[in-house]
Amino acid sequence: MSLFGTDGIRGVAGADLTPGLAAQVGRAAAVVHAGRVGPHPRFLIGRDTRLSGTMLEAALVAGITSGGGDVEVLGVMPTPAVASLVVRRQAHAGVVVSASHNPFADNGIKFFNGDGFKLSDDEEAEIIEHVTEHDLPSLTGGEIGRVSYAHSAAVSEYVDRLVERIPVDLVGLRVAVDCAHGAMFEAAALGLRQTGADLTVLFDKPDGLNINDGCGSTHMHALQQVVRDDGFDLGLAFDGDGDRVLAVDGHGELVDGDFVIAILAKHLKAKSLLRHETVVTTVMTNLGFHLAMRREGIEVVTTAVGDRYVLAEMLANDYLLGGEQSGHVIDLDVSTTGDGLATALLLLQALREMDVPLDEAATIMTRLPQCLLNVTVRDRKALDGAATVWQAVAMEEERLGDKGRILVRPSGTEPLVRVMCEAADAGDCEGVCLRLATVIEEELG
């Protein structure tokens, strides 16, 4: 049975992810943690704003307490806040009910360990084993776990720590913030107002159905229009659970995660704070980023797609900074996971200390044209042994030389092969992708 994907359990709430399954997972997690730390392991639970969140939260609480775990229910809380509070409140685990940037009908469950990091594959496998292979009877009497509730104090505790850790004076700066009607709708405004910025908050009225609906980091057009039309200095857009942020400069131009990481890396290196003068990104990072870091004398280490792989590389080699094009950025001096509010404060702090506007800071890199195609195949795993496909890839790479980059990889969840090309010329990108897509269709379609 496969429950956990690259970022926890996720599916349509009530269909794929039912209250019954959530209760089973909660009970299994309680039993696993009790086996490690003893009776009544302590859990924190937070959620985003989607309608199904309270249903799944209640099911998790029932499951965890029936398995002997104690639960502190935090209510609507950004994912990184749960990770932070697990450590600060010395809990044994954190649970977040969220499907991040997905539509409101979806939901998910992700866990953090007592150190604030997402669970390893082995830790997830142990929970799955208990869900699928063990009969876990509910406990009785004093063995049952206790439940307590906290919200406002928890939001303030998370925000105050970040503002103290990343001080910045933004008096005189006009900032527009898109909260995606999601989990950052309180915390982002609370934190950014403490900087003194002239703040306008958008999409901060969740109704359970409107999370990520035409807003947030996956729908940047609304924020871009507001910034452009109303003369803001910049804009910031969070995703549904608050672990990502993208920016918009004063001209309404998108500044994605590649640009944000490049700006932060350059600034940290100038302050001699970038450990090993290295950043960690994924294979999807734009070639323009790699060229920019080469000019700055910063090494780039790449991983598979997924923040967990970025984090694993960072921890294994003592790197400070890493992230993804999507705006999921990790600075290990500040957080143990991607944190949209921390990233926003770090970016604003860097801009203030460099004394430049965002559009000028973003000139550190030039995004090369990129083409992406998805090719439907019979068996995505057959790509590895498709010699004809890889011969075609090698020919295209030789044609591009050092002026472009090709990435061909199977989807992690669908019967697709993803083809990406970057090159100085947009026509070259499209031509490469189309030619390779044709070969893949002939061989694997």
- Fold match, 9-150 / 157-364: yes
What the block records as the tokens of 265 is 């890396």
- Cα torsion angle, 215, 217, 220, 223, sign: positive
In terms of phi and psi (left: phi > 0; alpha: psi -120 to 50; beta: otherwise), the region of 75 is: left
Q: What is the largest CA-CA distance in the chain?
A: 72
Can you give the pLDDT at residue 352?
Answer: 97
Residue with tokens 């469950």: 109
**pLDDT the model gives residue 413:** 64
Given 98, 100, 326, 335, the catalytic residue: 100
Q: Which CATH superfamily is domain 370-444 in?
A: Alpha-D-phosphohexomutase, C-terminal domain (3.30.310.50)
Q: What is the pLDDT of residue 6?
A: 67
Which pLDDT belongs to residue 4? 77
Domain limits of the chain? 9-150, 157-364, 370-444
- Asked if 48 contacts 179 with a C-beta cutoff of 8 angstroms, the reply is no
Question: Which tokens in the block code for residue 56?
Answer: 């799944």
Q: Which helix (H) or strand (E) holds 350?
A: helix 340-354
Contact 107, 56 (CB under 8 A): yes
Order of all β-strands in the sheet with 42-47: 9-12, 106-113, 93-97, 42-47, 70-76, 147-149
Site of tokens 């940047």: 220
Measured in whole angstroms, how far is the alpha carbon of residue 40 from the centre of its chain?
30
Per-residue DSSP letters for 287-300? HHHHHHHHHHT-EE
**Splitting the chain (445 residues) into consecutive groups of 10 residues, what average pLDDT does each group show?**
74 94 95 94 98 98 97 97 97 96 93 94 89 80 95 93 96 97 97 96 98 96 98 98 97 97 98 98 92 97 91 97 96 97 98 98 94 91 93 93 88 84 90 94 91
Q: What is the pLDDT of residue 7?
A: 73
Task: Output phi, psi for 268, to 5 deg.
Answer: -65, -40
The structural architecture, per CATH, of the domain 9-150 is 3-Layer(aba) Sandwich (3.40)
Distance of CA 64 to the CA centre of its chain: 26
Give the CATH number of domain 157-364; options: 3.40.50.620, 3.40.120.10, 3.30.1300.10, 1.10.10.60.
3.40.120.10
Q: List C-alpha distances in Å: 335 to 84, 182, 203, 264, 353.
A: 7, 20, 25, 15, 21
100 is catalytic: yes
Cα dist from 399 to 58, 99, 383, 423, 429, whole Å: 57, 41, 22, 11, 12
295 in Cβ contact with 365 (< 8 Å): no
pLDDT at residue 133, as a whole number:
74
Please state whether the predicted TM-score (pTM) of the whole model is above 0.75. Answer: yes
